[in-house]
Amino acid sequence: MGLLCFPLVSLVIHSFCYNKDKQTKYRTLHCNLFFWSFEAMANPRLRGWRKWAKKDWAIAAVGFTIILFALTLLFDSRNPTSSSSSSTFNLPSNHHLIPLTLLHRAKATGAFCLDGSLPGYHFQKGFGSGSNNWLLHIEGGGWCNSIETCEIRKRTALGSSKYMDLLIPFDGILSHQSSQNPDFYNWNIVKMRYCDGASLAGHPESEFKNGTKLFLRGQLIWEAIMSELLSLGLSKAKQALLTGCSAGGLATLIHCDDFRAHLPKDATVKCLADAGFFLDEPDILGNRTMSNFYHDVVQLQGVAKSLHKECITEMEPSKIQHILVPAGSDPDGYWRRCRLSIQKCDSTQIENLQGFRSSLLKALSKLQHDKEGGMFINSCFVHCQTWMAETWHSSNSPRINNKTIAESVGDWYFNRKVTKEIDCPYPCNPTCYHMDFTQPS
């Protein structure tokens, strides 16, 4: 069947263009105060999107629109090694944490993290009726757009497996508990760790030959992990879902076609991007901060080589980051409290945010009339909602029309019903989960 993609928005969104073979290609938009998931079906009716003005498109990225995206960087000195082709760090059978597997076969292809360490993933085997189904989730965590920022990043878990947690919990869409993840709980579930700083799309040809020790190998990491998973049973998948959050949502869009191409022709294959799509909107001072930032990412890491040729011939292969209120556009701190908590926004700031919401809905207007497309756009002040139990599926999860995100995604994936869930404007939804960064953790 055709390739489908169902992006989720947390004040963030994305979109696509299509090639002659009707395979999904992508462009992106950006927003942050909503959460949507839409599927990009290989559908000729959507080709009209390509007639939009260039200002309406951008190649997706990650982060908060209003919230300044904050990364928690864990500086851990652990550096596990093993002589096997992939190292798995074991844990007690009664524990619900999932061990890190380092990809030793990546050495052969030079698929390294920014610092030259091995890439990794976490894998929980499926069971029962889900034994032949696979869900791959790509970790998010922003990008680095210069030698300096990549040098900093390579000393964190987002640039080196030396600092990655050896054991992590699988919650939300990754959970093996049916109460938390009703449709995918018994699937083979993989979390791909993110350590290249360019949404798994960097290329070694862009590495510097002047002594700078940075490995820009994101595309090779994607290919190496896919190769390993295919050998573990992904090649025989009957149903598969590629998903990711933020920068991982962008990676989902970039690699969606390739993911489909590796799987059986009769398999049901869809892609879900959570908070990985951005509107190309100016910030509060009218600057194109996001576009400039992502232009640097594309140039530094040679990302254009991972993008579809037909897309990049129509526009520059860049444009992203914190859109509405980047720190540099708010020198007097007027937006500081509002960026950290929507409940601290005054009426003028809320009006600005609602204008951003209107731009998002306008950009998605064509998709709303496509039967195969799916979306879930809520008015909650939170970034990434698929991997947390609190927002994915629980008694307190955000709902639209009394449906959680998990229920809506399940309806879309299994074709139970058309899914076009659009929330009313903030603050009308009492089920919202709002993050508050002004409170101590």
The DSSP annotation for 354-367 comes to HHHHHHHHHHTTTG
Residue of higher predicted confidence among 8 and 260: 260
Task: Tell me what the mean pLDDT of segment 398-424 comes to.
Answer: 93
- For residue 295, pLDDT beyond 60: yes
- For residue 428, pLDDT beyond 60: yes
pLDDT of res. 322: 44
Res. 438 pLDDT band, cuts 50 70 90: low
Residues in the chain: 441
Per-chain mean pLDDT for the chain: 76
Describe the chain by its helix, strand, coil percentages, rounded to 5.
30, 15, 55
436 falls within a domain: no
Residue of higher predicted confidence among 91 and 133: 133
414 falls within a domain: yes
Highest mean pLDDT among 30-39, 242-251, 295-304: 242-251
Residue 404: name the closest of 191, 173, 106 by CA: 173
402 falls within a domain: yes
341 falls within a domain: yes
230 falls within a domain: yes
**pLDDT tens digit sequence for 73-103:** 222 333 333 334 555 544 444 448 999 999 9
* 3-state SS, residue 353: helix
89-103, 184-198, 213-227, 273-287: lowest mean pLDDT where? 89-103
- For residue 177, pLDDT beyond 90: yes
Domain of 140, in residue numbers: 94-422
pLDDT of res. 134: 98
- CA 379 – CA 358 distance, rounded (Å): 12
pLDDT of res. 340: 82
Res. 288 pLDDT band, cuts 50 70 90: confident
Residue 29 vs residues 149, 157, 169, 345, 396: alpha-carbon distances, Å: 24, 27, 31, 24, 29
306 falls within a domain: yes
Task: Say what percent of the chain tops pLDDT 70.
Answer: 72
Task: Tell me what the mean pLDDT of segment 53-79 comes to.
Answer: 28
Res. 365 pLDDT band, cuts 50 70 90: confident
- CA 11 – CA 384 distance, rounded (Å): 9
Residue 46, number of CB atoms within 10 A of its CB: 21
Work out how many domains the chain is built from and give that number.
Answer: 1
Task: Please say whether the beta carbons of 251 and 199 come within 8 A.
Answer: yes
pTM (two decimals):
0.77
**pLDDT tens digit sequence for 347-361:** 988 888 888 888 878
173 falls within a domain: yes
pLDDT of res. 154: 97
Please, which residues have CB within 8 angstroms of residue 202's CB and are 6 or more apart in sequence? 196, 216, 217, 218, 219, 301, 302, 303
Task: Tell me what the mean pLDDT of segment 119-135 comes to.
Answer: 98
- CA 386 – CA 390 distance, rounded (Å): 9
407 falls within a domain: yes
